Amino acid sequence: MLVISMLKGAKLITKGVDCQTPEKTWLMRQKLAAGLSLTENIRKGFISNRSYVDKRDFSKMERSTKIAVLLVVFVVVLTAVFLIVVLKEEQKTIRFGCALSLSGAREQEGKLTREGYELWKEHVNSQGGILIGNDRYLVNILYYDDESDPQKTAALVEKLIIKDNIDLLLGPYGSDCTFEAAAIAERYRVPIVEGGGASETIFAQGFKYTFGVISPAGDYFKTLLEGAARLEPKPKRVVIVSAGDIFSVSAANSAQQHAELLGFDTSSIRTFENTNELTSILSEVKKDEPNIMLFSAHFQEAVVFVSAAKEVSLSPELFGVLIAPSDPAFTTLLGKDAEYILGTAQWTPDSPYYGPVFGSAKDYTQLFRARYGKTPDYHAAAASACGVAYQLALEDAAAVNREKVKEALASLDMMTFYGRIKFDERGIDIYNPMSVVQIQKGTTVTIWPEHFATGSIRYPTPSWEERASELKVAVLHFGHIGDYGWTYEAHLGAQAMTEALPYVNLSEREDAVGPNTTEIMRMYAEAGNKVIFCHSWEFGESIEEVAAEYPDVIFMWGGGIEKKAPNAGIYFGRMYEARFLTGMVAGAMTKTNKIGYAAAIPLPEVVRGLNAFARGVAAVNPDAKVYVEWIGEWYNPPKEKNVTISLIEQGCDVITHHSDSYAPGEVAEEKGVYYISYHSDMRRFAPHVFLTGAVWNWTPLMTDIVEAARNGTWDDYPGQDWWYGLAEGGVKLAPFGDVVPDVVSEKVEANEQALMRGEVEVFPGMTDEELRAMYYLESNIVGELPPA
């Protein structure tokens, strides 16, 4: 009633203003949109609440008119504030409830599941919510910790329904917990979508409100056994050890049946209730001389199993372990002991799927990395897929009505980032094939089925005794491999190093820079890594803190400028040599004599490359200028894009950068200006305007450092300071693009050879110490350098 009275008053006062000053009143100038009330005009933006009356007209008004106009302003502003509050309060929310293992035996998997739920929630809300009918609903999820106890799951799910009055349920983790949750959901007729309970028992009860996006437990080992049956020589005997929970037992029983169908010899399944039993059980298993050892349990049990197998020297040709190997934490905890182990996965980041909400599996992976700083495993993906299934069903149901949502879920058939989701009459997703992964040199590689494979199986598994001679090496990355820049090239170098040195057992960790850097470094040192490459400037302080604690470990600082400890060295590439050559290309190709340089952070490393590039430009084109703008971060594609656009708008017709992503190349391609990449050959992102690129080649550096560590000659290298240039192969030029004339490429190549022979220097007379402290700008650079 208050707002109605206010609006009526505003209408009367407005009429009075119209009669007294008809020529230029606010109402005459703005003109209310035809047929709309004052409130609707404000909401739709036809009326501004900032400038209601022209100041020149206001001064001419009579006192009574001024009062009337001021009253109108007051009413309109007050009404606008009231509407903002009302509209905010009217934001609709759909409430999900979830009892989840955030502590207890299933804590690891439970937290991964929560990350998947939260990523979906945050992503949906950032897009404005779910469109249900004509309204958008934000997502809210209420969690309770069931402590991995099925009885607590049941009580908490009932509480969520009765006391908290949630709209819909998301599943817990674990088949036993999911069974209890499904029974409660059925009793109260509340839909539940889950990705953490795979036992067939859940779906054999005739439940109508439970929908699972994961394959049933009986399928978990099938793809692995079918792949093993095709190996040469074919393994003969399969032995299975299982935990006693319903999921593990179900998976073990089905694995034994399928193994026998495939012609393998089997023995009775050994079960355990406590991991303390594993050492004695595996000692007995060893007497069976298994060719394939299958372990059916969850993450924590799997870690203990591998350690126990090593302790008793159980060395089959194949280890197959449920669940755990797809989680990067498995490799982190076990280090080289995780090598060669096969794992089962519902989904991998390489999956060739695409659909609404998240886009492709790769898009989802990038979003997850940005949020959590790590690569997702299938637990998180399955949880996010539960959200996607609900979202699609709610949009189809067009109402927050449990029965309608249940019917929409039952009829759902849609391809998503997780794969095709379609539930059968039991509530099982019928289009979710299992994949098999193997831990190879510290990374997870998909090996089966073949059409999903990203690599081949390493078979047979060496014995524990054979593996004892391996040298464990870790590479800790600043960013993620998919940047196609700094981290991508380091990953390629590390992989090539392991190919050159077969004794290396490699682990890699993406996004290792952050508040937990020192803890991460300690974890890899504790795991037995003898050489740890800390591949970024940002690791310096952490190396100084951690290296002294592990005197038997060699810490290498990528981009470092000084020794932090007797067991710490530095390594880098003389990228300024390649930068000089790319500057020559830019100077020769520019028509406007304006060349754009998007630079990350004003550190000596960046300044050195910028100055070398500018010297290369000046060597062929004294009239050209290099325009620099600072991004402020190493990796931020939106900022990199904006800075590149700004440089182009200033007239720059050649673009290069010192940043980690390929965003500058994409902008150059779109705008039709020449592009020179940095870090790697980024031709694929700017194929029509690509000139060349300054490229890192970490293979020779990493290989020489690891060989020296292996041979005991690391201390002999001068200052433990590896700084490789063109001559040593540490840096190089990308192949020239098709638009580069022969006269330009030939001149650049001649200078490249002269640099390699030492006949030409980019910064004549400067020592390495001076180069590493460089902080000035060449005279042909347009831009500012912040005070050092």
Confirm if 117 and 97 have CB atoms less than 8 A apart: no
CB burial readout 28-65, b (16+ within 10 A) else e: eeeeeeeeeebbebbeeeebeeeebbeeebbeebeeeb
Query: How far is residue 178's CA from residue 209's CA, in Å, rounded to a whole number?
Result: 12
Give long-range contacts, CB 8 A cutoff, 24+ apart: 478-481: 478/511, 478/512, 478/513, 478/535, 478/536, 478/538, 478/634, 478/635, 479/510, 479/511, 479/634, 479/635, 479/660, 480/366, 480/369, 480/375, 480/510, 480/511, 481/508, 481/510
Question: What fold characterizes domain 466-572?
Answer: Rossmann fold (3.40.50)
- pLDDT per position as a tens digit, 147-194: 999 999 999 999 999 999 999 999 999 999 999 999 999 999 999 999
Neighbouring CB atoms inside 10 A of 421's CB total 25
SS (H, E, C) 532-547: EEEECHHHHHHHHHHH
Task: Say how far apart CA 218 and CA 203 lie, in whole Å.
Answer: 12
Strands 359-360 and 354-355, how do they pair? antiparallel
Alpha-helical runs (H) found in 687-741? 699-711
* Pairwise CA distance, residues 640 & 677, whole Å: 13
Q: What is the pLDDT of residue 35?
A: 37
Q: What does the block give as tokens for 56?
A: 């020149």
Tally of CB atoms within 10 A around 427: 24
Which residues lie across from 732 on neighbouring strands? 695
The whole-chain average pLDDT of the chain stands at 89
> Alpha-carbon distance 154 to 483, whole Å?
44
The pLDDT value given to residue 90: 67
The position carrying tokens 């999921």 is 247
Distances (CA, A) of 493 to 487, 698, 733: 10, 5, 16
For residue 167, give the nearest of 390, 337, 418 by alpha carbon: 390
pLDDT tens-place string over residues 107-151: 999 999 999 999 999 999 999 999 999 999 999 999 999 999 999
pLDDT tens for residues 246-301? Answer: 999 999 999 999 999 999 999 999 999 999 999 999 999 999 999 999 999 999 99
Instruction: Compute CA 519 distance to the chain's CA centroid, rounded to the nearest angstrom.
Output: 20
d(CA 481, CA 487): 5
Contact 228, 265 (CB under 8 A): no
Assigned CATH topology for domain 219-345+434-452:
Rossmann fold (3.40.50)
DSSP 574: -
Q: How many CB atoms lie within 10 A of CB 156?
A: 26
If one looks up domain 575-782 in CATH, what number appears? 3.40.50.2300
% the chain with pLDDT above 90? 82
**Which H or E run includes 782?**
strand 781-782
How high is the pLDDT of residue 15?
34
User: What distance in Å separates the CA atoms of residue 512 and residue 84, rounded to the nearest whole number?
Assistant: 43
Residue 410 has pLDDT above 70, yes or no: yes
Rounded Cα distance, 456 and 445, in Å: 8
With CA atoms as reference, report the closest residue to 219 among 296, 114, 151, 299.
296
pLDDT at 503: 86
- Residues 50-98: tens digit of each pLDDT: 333 333 343 444 555 555 545 554 555 555 544 444 444 468 999 999 9
Listed in sequence order, the residues at least 6 apart from 654 whose beta carbon sits closer than 8 Å to its beta carbon are 586, 589, 590, 595, 596, 673, 674, 675, 676, 691
307-356: per-residue pLDDT in tens?
999 999 999 999 999 989 999 889 988 988 999 999 999 999 989 999 99
> Which residue intervals of 590-636 are DSSP H helices?
604-620
pLDDT tens digits, residue range 497-506? 998 887 898 9
Q: Which two tokens stand for residue 522?
A: 């300690």
Question: Where would I find the H helices in 506-601?
Answer: 517-526, 540-546, 575-589
Reported as a single tens digit per residue, the pLDDT across 636-652 is 999 999 999 999 999 99
For residues 224-239, average pLDDT: 96
CA dist., res. 70 & res. 782, Å (int): 52
Question: How would DSSP label each residue in 634-700?
Answer: SS-HHHHHHHHHHHHHTT--EEEEESSSSHHHHHHHHHT-EEEEEES--GGGSTTTEEEEEEE--HH
Taking the C-alpha atoms of residue 30 and residue 45, their distance in angstroms, rounded to an integer, is 11
Q: How far is CA 367 from CA 295, 360, 371, 443, 515, in A?
A: 32, 11, 6, 20, 20
- pLDDT tens per residue, range 477-496: 999 888 888 999 999 999 99
Note whether 424 and 430 are within 8 A (CB).
Answer: yes
Q: Does domain 94-215+353-422 have CATH number 3.40.50.2300?
A: yes
